[in-house]
Structure 1
């Protein structure tokens, strides 16, 4: 598998300044996301099991993978152009795209579902909707510049399904509005279905790379 060169002169998205700005924004968003999940991560370690904490900060981890993917676009020589190097880059990119699509849509949907059932939205909710929608949009836009293929995207789905299973078996899913507590079964089904949909969307945009 050969990493594609970026057509800097033909596509404004591939402009290094744009990618640097996105890299900085995503880095800051990732750090903020882990801080946001800090209380739940502490609760999981203290009240449940330490190994489960890795499955708590879903969105920040997705953002972390995508941030690393942007770093590969800025510095393609960070990984050696051999099977192992391209494999590492490919799985990180696949995780960055598939998980960003999934959790970008998921977070916005949960906030809107809570609002529809009476949860009072504050400014943080609108900020989260904009930032998470941005996660999904940027993932879709940058698929064309990445080297991963359908198989790595499928492996990213496997990770998501494991994550979903752990989330709803050990109740380490992101804390939900109180008004959604009675809808947990439906949310679990939606979450796992969205994981599959995120893979299908990724496969679609992979197929459009050369169009």
Structure 2
């Protein structure tokens, strides 16, 4: 979900900054937008234990640190001057996605898919 939302945001930002419609960017926004939407739709059906969630949270936050503190992030040419802001927004996108996954998958109100009923 995070990468889908990130890719949509970066492509929109690039097109606004360059004042140009980039058709490969439009296709990327459509495909990644649907990928993020699919993750949101199916999130209530996922089952995670808190330990697994914590490992994933540390992993994703650590990835943000490696990307934006050590310069390993994907770069959209032309947006390099915004990298500190992109890194900050990416951190908060991670927090949003982790909160969403926690709310939809770990709390007691998640959906239960029952294929066979007694």
TM-score, length-normalised on structure 1? Answer: 0.48
Q: 1:205 to 1:133 in 2, by over 3 A?
A: same
- Equivalent residue, structure 2, for 1:137: 37
Residues 31-61 of structure 1: CA deviation (Å, up to 9, x unaligned): xxxxxxxxxxxxxxxxxxxxxxxxxxxxxxx
* CA deviation after TM superposition for structure 1 residue 119, in Å: 5.2
Q: 1:124 to 1:199 in 2, by over 3 A?
A: same
Residues 44-103 of structure 1: CA deviation (Å, up to 9, x unaligned): xxxxxxxxxxxxxxxxxxxxxxxxxxxxxxxxxxxxxxxxxxxxxxxxxxxxxxxxx111
- Equivalent residue, structure 2, for 1:146: 46
Q: Alpha carbon RMSD of aligned pairs, Å?
A: 1.9
Match of 1:185 among 57, 77, 84: 84
Q: Distance in 1 between matches of 2:20 and 2:75?
A: 16
* CA deviation after TM superposition for structure 1 residue 122, in Å: 2.3
1:50-61 paired onto structure 2 within 5 Å: none
| Residue 202 (structure 1) aligned with residue 74 (structure 2) | no
Equivalent position SS for 1:117: helix
| Alignment gaps of 5+ in structure 1 | 1-100
TM-score, length-normalised on structure 2? Answer: 0.81
Q: Distance in 2 between matches of 1:137 and 1:151?
A: 26
- Equivalent residue, structure 2, for 1:60: none
1:19-58 paired onto structure 2 within 5 Å: none
Contact map agreement 2:44 2:110 (CA 8 A) in 1: yes
Compare relative contact order (CA 8 Å, sep 6+) and give the higher one, 1 or 2.
Answer: 2
| Alignment gaps of 5+ in structure 2 | 113-118
